[in-house]
Chain A
Amino acid sequence: MAIPKVCGIETEYGILVRGADGNPVAASSLLINAYLAAYQRKVGWDFNDEHPGADARGFRVDDLLAPEVETHLVNAVLTNGARYYVDHAHPEISTPECRTALDALRFDRAAEEIVRASMRAASNLLPDDAEILCHKNNSDGKGNSYGCHENYLVARDLPFGRLVQQITPHFVTRQVVVGAGKVGCEFPGLSTAEVPFQLSQRADFFEEEVGLETTLKRPIVNTRDEPHCDPSKYRRLHVIVGDANMSETATLVKLGATSIVLAMIEDGAMGDDLALANPVAAIRQISHDPSLRQTMLLRDGRRMTAMEMQFEILARALEYERSHGLACVDSAVGRQVLELWESILSGLDSEPASVAHQVDWVAKQRVITGYAERHGLQPTDARLKALDLQYHDLRAEKCLALRVGLDTLVDPASVEDAMTMPPTDTRAYFRGRCLAKWPEAIVAANWDSMVFDIGRDPLRRVPMMEPLRGTAESVQRLIDESSTAGELLAKLGA
């Protein structure tokens, strides 16, 4: 049977400084440091087991923003188990490891609120007429893209070639349900006049079927092999092909449907027969066709629309639920995801406007089209691109996504809890609780270990190689009953 689909989501936010001459790296550092100064003692990230080239970058800091705040490259661990850092000139938050797609949605929403709180905290450090704006989007409309990556726990013994072959049709076509929508086109050689609106923020930037890159020649399936847990048992599938969603429904279905499809692949329930003749061309073609009518060629010679492909994958997922159950994604959450996925596809198939409360691209397109008609605007009018950007603007007074009537699936109070409290059912619980209770005793932390300084002897590294150990069930009492970190380590036998 498929292993539990532990998952998480990491988002690079767009950042813009207005009224001050700030570079984005310094602004991102200021943003994060302002949050940490206001809300949490800073504990650094431990790079011990990471690929050194990935994060250890030096930047020249050459602006005059708030010199009292340190502006070196920030990298912190939060008490909710998340990582908050500067990556590629963007502020980025990786949620903690979550047991279900629904919990990952809650922590993705909490990440959004953390960025909003950071913007408020940063504004206190800036001159009155200056502000830092953050957007939860994936492109600037000028050919520069930044990611929203998903991560899923996958069994190591699943052959990677099979995984690539069988997940690709879903990655290419799921954008009809979870695309965030974009005004214009950034694929070289195509203009906004030719593609005024498309389904996905990211589709223009994919050039390969499979590969290691994430910033150039981006592949549909990324091969980064950094499991951050026991490498003999697990893989972490690092998914770079998705958009950052404003719709909670879209985030849930994106994570949930992909979790289910991965479980099906592990259990041999997906099949090879949906392979596409040219996935790279297809992902772009589908994105550029909001009518959802164009067909793509399959390797076996058939032609299908993206909608038909999604209906077919959904049918297999429903069959999988009957034959295997959905315990690996949590049965109730799995059921919720399948119902949403099915109702969205049915809605898109009959009357797309009927899913404007669930699907980002439909909600956005409705506003763009309505605004253009009301004011008699050409598709290339800058006001339409401004609406697109503002859909993702995290300032509540400017954000269009907050105004278009999107459904909410998680209770705001539980989102607020998730800003500071970790999930209870993964190893993130141990990380977050220890950070909250003994910040002075923790030298550094990362996904699969924590380093304690308990005031004597060498530093103690506590390995956490199992994503589902260190949960509240197993360590809550130990943490509650220990008054010092040293006591806890003694009880753990570390």
Chain B
Amino acid sequence: MAERTQKQKPAPSRTEETVEAAPAVTESGDKLKAELDDLLDEIDGVLETNAEDFVKSYVQKGGQ
């Protein structure tokens, strides 16, 4: 319980800036970027062929 308490941010405390842990962020950043590239490759094949028409035809009646 004590650890959790310490992690809580006192509110409001907007003046504190997050300290960047540079090496770790870069490493995970590279991995994330590679994953995103793979995902974007896949999306190129999945995206509606005529996106503009699809978006235009997507009209819904209002609901609740």
Asked if residues A318 and B5 are in contact (CB atoms below 8 Å), the reply is: yes
Number of interface residues of B (CB under 8 A): 38
With the chains together, A244 CA to B61 CA distance in Å? 17
Q: Is B43 an interface residue (CB 8 A)?
A: yes
For chain A, which range describes its interface: under 10, 10 to 19, 20 to 34, or 35 or more residues?
35 or more
With the chains together, A285 CA to B15 CA distance in Å? 21
Asked if residues B55 and A386 are in contact (CB atoms below 8 Å), the reply is: yes
Asked if residues A367 and B9 are in contact (CB atoms below 8 Å), the reply is: no
Interfacial residues of chain A within 304-327, with CB under 8 A of chain B in the complex: 304-305, 308-309, 311-312, 314-315, 318, 322
Interfacial residues of chain A within 373-429, with CB under 8 A of chain B in the complex: 374, 382-383, 385-387, 389-390, 397-398, 400, 403-405
A242 → chain B, closest Cβ, in Å?
12
A338 → chain B, closest Cβ, in Å?
8
Residues of the A chain whose Cβ atoms lie less than 8 Å from the Cβ of B14: 295, 305, 308
B28 → chain A, closest Cβ, in Å?
8
Residues of the A chain whose Cβ atoms lie less than 8 Å from the Cβ of B35: 405
Chain A residue with Cβ nearest B36: A370
Which are the 5 A-B pairs with shortest beta-carbon distances?
A146-B63, A386-B51, A89-B61, A88-B63, A312-B11
Residues of the A chain whose Cβ atoms lie less than 8 Å from the Cβ of B29: 353
With the chains together, A89 CA to B59 CA distance in Å? 12
With the chains together, A240 CA to B64 CA distance in Å? 8
With the chains together, A390 CA to B7 CA distance in Å? 37
Asked if residues A308 and B62 are in contact (CB atoms below 8 Å), the reply is: no
Q: Mark A131-165, 1 if CB is under 8 A from B, else 0.
A: 00000000111101111010000000000000000
Residues of the A chain whose Cβ atoms lie less than 8 Å from the Cβ of B4: 318, 342
Q: Is B23 an interface residue (CB 8 A)?
A: no
Residues of the A chain whose Cβ atoms lie less than 8 Å from the Cβ of B55: 141, 382, 385-386, 389
B50 → chain A, closest Cβ, in Å?
9
Q: Mark B1-41, 1 if CB is under 8 A from A, else 0.
A: 10011011101111000100000010011001001110110
Question: Per DSSP, are chain B's interface residues mostly helix, strand or loop, or mixed?
Answer: helix
Q: Mark A215-251, 1 if CB is under 8 A from B, else 0.
A: 1000000000000000000000000100000000000
Asked if residues A147 and B60 are in contact (CB atoms below 8 Å), the reply is: no
A90 in contact with B63 given A308-B14, A318-B5, A318-B8 (CB within 8 Å): yes
Asked if residues A403 and B46 are in contact (CB atoms below 8 Å), the reply is: yes
Chain B residue with Cβ nearest A214: B64
Question: Looking at the complex, which one of A24, A214, A351, A397 makes contact with B60 (CB distance below 8 Å)?
Answer: A24
Identify 10 new A-B residue pairs, CB closer than 8 A, beyond the known A215-B64, A318-B5: A24-B60, A139-B60, A144-B60, A215-B62, A315-B9, A342-B4, A350-B18, A356-B32, A371-B40, A389-B58
- A interface, CB within 8 angstroms of B: 12, 14-16, 18, 24, 87-90, 139-142, 144-147, 149, 214-215, 240, 295, 302-305, 308-309, 311-312, 314-315, 318, 322, 342, 346, 349-351, 353-354, 356, 366-367, 370-371, 374, 382-383, 385-387, 389-390, 397-398, 400, 403-405
Residues of the B chain whose Cβ atoms lie less than 8 Å from the Cβ of A140: 58-60
B1 → chain A, closest Cβ, in Å?
6
B5 → chain A, closest Cβ, in Å?
7
Asked if residues A371 and B43 are in contact (CB atoms below 8 Å), the reply is: yes
Asked if residues B59 and A144 are in contact (CB atoms below 8 Å), the reply is: yes
Residues of the A chain whose Cβ atoms lie less than 8 Å from the Cβ of B48: 386, 390, 398
With the chains together, A108 CA to B14 CA distance in Å? 37
Chain A residue with Cβ nearest B51: A386
Asked if residues B46 and A146 are in contact (CB atoms below 8 Å), the reply is: no
With the chains together, A57 CA to B38 CA distance in Å? 48
Question: Looking at the complex, which one of A15, A145, A354 makes contact with B62 (CB distance below 8 Å)?
Answer: A145
B59 → chain A, closest Cβ, in Å?
6
With the chains together, A390 CA to B36 CA distance in Å? 17
Residues of the A chain whose Cβ atoms lie less than 8 Å from the Cβ of B37: 370
B40 → chain A, closest Cβ, in Å?
5
